[in-house]
Structure 1
């Protein structure tokens, strides 16, 4: 009889431990899911910082480069201009940048390339190639920008952005708007962004130099991380990149997944590398914006 009672006690204790273990596992799983969601947003926010640098290179490659048109040894329908004949009116590109322009028929191809460890004026380490293809026609505003292993602080960008560029939008500001389909290699793996994006120079667009240019960014896209986790992202309040700040300093993004909505607020315009995430349950987390890929 004592033996039976003893065995029953062991069984109850085992079941109790089992249920406690199950409950603990559920709790850990919930925490992991919350942590994972926060990490995905932090990753996306850091990729946004990297992409804003890529936007600047695209914008000035489209708007601020001038090439000498008369090149000996080439016909009018096919000219290749070496980098030394290129003028960067913006002063944005580092001295290590190499430029080339090719004109075939009505198509102009501008190639902007960077040797390894080319450091720009903001301290970003740049390498790889950007290619801009446009029509010679003044009425065709479409520009196709292709990134080929274009690397910013260790983040490798590949893919295309197709823009319509105008020197004056309805407010009189330079604007670059269109579609985005890129991949970015990060420390967590390769992510993708597919959607739309509009970049406007809201201040400083009336001068050639880049140092007084304040930019705003709007758009929406699908963000997919290396593990296949996907979020719909919309910039619900325009992101603001001040001329004197390395980081996006203002604006709000909304993330939607499975009907749950969270927001990322970049702040009141103060120049720092912080943003505030509010998840679907109302929990608030401070997110650190990163522009450099961690070294393993």
Structure 2
């Protein structure tokens, strides 16, 4: 039975891009009966519409099946691998080196909805919830993300990113940040510990009102892209790791649209 399509559905060209990147069915046992592309369609629908898992339309696979695949791909690193492969393809498409040499870093505090692990209060933003610290390349494509309590400082968020991603992104020669990630001693420690050179983009002293700061707008634009996904308007996830996976899944959807 052919169902009516949704705006979030994969196109044939996007399915062709995604097919070699998705994990194959497990060997042995009963053959896989679910269409994995329909599972991906359901996950992208949930991200854009902002609905709960149990409220997925009935013409998708059962929500339990979709949730199982989402969590399975989270556990085995599939979402991060998809993000990595598609980002390399997209950078090559526009004539850039697949491995970036420069990046931008920032954090965003968001409210949590309901019970959640590791939450806190951000006194600067006056937000009770979690903080998303993300690292993006100069195209705004996601390199790494850590979600943690909003009470943690931006220095803590950068430290978490470095612990998880410094070995993976040793190719980075320069990272632009705002002054909340600054401090001469901390910047020197980051370079010694992770090999990352931090450059703080300062707001001009004479500035009044809004002014577009060089390089800083790149990561802010990425947060704006995430704002199109209603599931990311707040942090609805119980686990911070699931929140991180939602960011990777949203970026995969964005890059698929650009590539096909």
TM range (shorter): under 0.3
TM-score, normalising length: structure 2: 0.27
TM-score, normalising length: structure 1: 0.25
Larger radius of gyration: 1
Higher RCO structure (Cα 8 Å, ≥6 apart): 2
Which structure has the highest helix share of the two? Answer: 2
